[in-house]
Amino acid sequence: MGVVLVGAQWGDEGKGKMTDFLAAQADIVVRYQGGANAGHTIVISGVEHKLNLIPSGILAGKMSVIAHGMMVDPRLLIDELERMEAAGCNASLLRISDAAHLIMPYHKILDVEEERLRGVNSLGTTGRGIGPASRDKAARWGIRVSDLLRPESFVEKVHVQLRRVNPLLEKIYGVDPLDPEAISREYLEYSEHLRPHVCDTILLLNRSMEQGASVLFEGAQGTMLDLDMGTYPYVTSSNPTSGGVCTGTGVPPTRLSQVIGIAKAYTTRVGDGPFPTELQDHTGDLLRQRGNEYGTATGRPRRCGWLDSVVLRHSVRVNGLDGICLTKIDVLSGMEKIKVADSYACNDAVIDEFPLDQGAFADCHPEYIELAGWDEDISRVRRFADLPGAVRNYVRTVGELAGAPVTHLSVGPGREQTLELEPILRLR
Ligand code: IMP
């Protein structure tokens, strides 16, 4: 069976932690989109592990698959693999799709230069080359992992790409051209490190599932950063939503059994773009400080605000969420009142669904309901029934407003700080 975990907001919802929690029940953990723009933090026995490319399942000793929907930066991947080995993980569990696209040095340069060109309309990208590499993939210029394993054709492809890209770098962006020989030498060295892990992951996953394997699909980024479903153009260049699993792995929708959304008990966003419930005041600062809201991939401070149930309803709908895992609820402890947006005032109208027109979305102002806060430290509570009444009320209200039950609650960063409210998630 296949269970999908997706971010229900703008990313950084704590997906790595939930993947790690559920990986214990899975045979295989798969990432299906994105690249090193993602950052997943997992705390095990007080030790923090940060992953950008490798699925969090590696920490649970599970086969971990980088599927063809991902964009692979080989240098970063090798560094990460070495870090994981040093932390005691079994590196031989990693599988990399031969059809995954490579991030090339010019993708990262173009990412930065294009942001500069956008000026005040910049997207706030992570600078990891994701947009330019995805564009090359769609334009049929991409270089894939399988190319890296065939040195002659790889070198030729790099030469062809630089005939096209170097004039852009020099004439449009005023930066130095790149040397195809130097890039080829560098990348072919990486190929020897990666070769033992490369295989046809479409076959691997489908055959394993035919034989009864349970597979956990780990989304990166979040629904509102989806190229098609999110706050375009302030989005990433892939499909983090559940549909992305099928195109990004070759596993058909008929093999997927459940989709769980991960949502923070408040909202954060890194990068630019509309964010109706953003708090640019003391409360926003408090959330950032208490929630340690700084990006894993780039270290940037995250924008913080109240939970937005308009966003969650959109997420429930487009992902087909069976349940929601609400994370970091402990961060809200000590707030006298807690607000949740249940609709928007938007150009003289009140709307309670996410508007497709992004111009309208930018003009939306949240309408809030206010709930009682709580003072208790809840980080040691392990049963829902033992939580203060105000916490239980908050959790129930979020589920009702979102239109999907809260099935898991995270009260702290540790593996043991996850409460299972409804045992709907079963990988076995
Ligand atoms: P890109 O994916 O680097 O092209 O960045 C596009 C947008 O997505 C920017 O606003 C980034 O800040 C945001 N973004 C990309 N990856 C993540 C992530 O893992 N968490 C949160 N935001 C992200």
pLDDT in tens, 291-323: 999 987 778 899 999 999 999 999 999 999 999
* 128 close to ligand 1 (CB < 6 Angstrom): yes
Ligand 1: does its nearest atom lie under 6 Å from the Cβ of 130? yes
Residue of 18, 21, 34, 39 whose CA lies nearest to 300 = 39
Decide if 405 contacts 399 (C-beta within 8 A). Answer: yes
pLDDT in tens, 232-254: 999 999 999 999 999 999 999 99
**Would you call 79 helix, strand, or coil by DSSP?**
helix
Q: Is 221 in the pocket of ligand 1 (CB under 6 A)?
A: yes
Distance CA 218, CA 33 (A): 9
Report the pLDDT value the prediction gives residue 26, as an integer from 0 to 100.
95
pLDDT of residue 424: 61
Mean pLDDT of the chain: 94
Q: Is any atom of ligand 1 closer than 6 Å to the C-beta of 126?
A: yes
Nearest to 410 by CA among 42, 92, 135, 147: 42
Is residue 154 within 8 A of residue 143, CB to CB? The reply is yes
Nearest atom in ligand 1 to the alpha carbon of residue 273 is 10
Q: Are strands 337-346 and 349-351 parallel, antiparallel or unpaired?
A: antiparallel
Cβ–Cβ < 8 Å for 275, 73: no
Residue of 223, 225, 262 with the most ligand 1 atoms within 8 Å of its CB, for mutation = 225
Which domains, ranges and CATH numbers included, belong to the chain?
2-90+201-420 (3.90.170.10), 101-196 (1.10.300.10)
- Specify the pTM: 0.95
Place of tokens 């309901």: 369
CB 240 within 8 A of CB 7: yes
The half-sphere exposure of 275 on its side-chain side, counting CA atoms within 13 A, is 24
User: pLDDT, tens digit, for every residue of 87-139?
Assistant: 999 999 999 999 999 999 999 999 999 999 999 999 999 999 999 999 999 99
What are the pLDDT digits (tens) for 131-151?
Answer: 999 999 999 999 999 999 999
pLDDT, residue 418, reads: 93
State the pLDDT at residue 45: 79
Q: Which residues contact 199 (CB under 8 A, 6 or more apart)?
A: 95, 96, 97, 98
Number of other CB atoms surrounding residue 61 within 10 Å: 13
Tell me which residues are annotated as active site: 12, 40
Torsion of CA 331, 83, 46, 287, to 10 degrees: -10
Best of 115, 270, 302, 304 for a ligand 1 pocket test (most atoms within 8 Å of beta carbon): 270
From 10, 107, 126, 294, the mutation candidate for ligand 1 (largest count of ligand atoms within 8 A of CB) is 126
Does ligand 1 lie within 6 Å of residue 110's CB atom?
no
User: With a 6 A CB cut-off, is 366 part of the ligand 1 pocket?
Assistant: no
Burial of 373 (0-12, 13-18, 19+ CB in 10 A): middle
What is the percentage of the chain residues whose pLDDT exceeds 70? Answer: 99
Q: pLDDT band at residue 165, thresholds of 50, 70 and 90?
A: very high
Atom 2 of ligand 1, nearest CA residue: 236
Task: List the one residue out of 2, 6, 71 whose CA is nearest residue 33.
Answer: 71
Which stretch of DSSP H or E encloses residue 178?
none
- Tell me how far the alpha carbon of residue 240 lies from the centroid of ligand 1, in angstroms: 11
Mean pLDDT of 37-41: 86
Among residues of the chain, what percentage have pLDDT more than 90? 86
Q: How far lies 100's CA from each of 111, 152, 180, in Å?
A: 19, 19, 21
Name the percent of the chain in helix, strand, coil, to the closest 5.
40, 20, 40
Choose among 398, 304, 310, 315: nearest CA to 350.
310
pLDDT value at residue 427: 58
pLDDT digits (tens, 9 = 90+) for 173-231: 999 999 999 999 999 999 999 999 999 999 999 999 999 999 999 999 999 999 999 99
Q: What is the pLDDT of residues 331-350, one digit of tens each?
A: 999 999 999 999 999 888 89
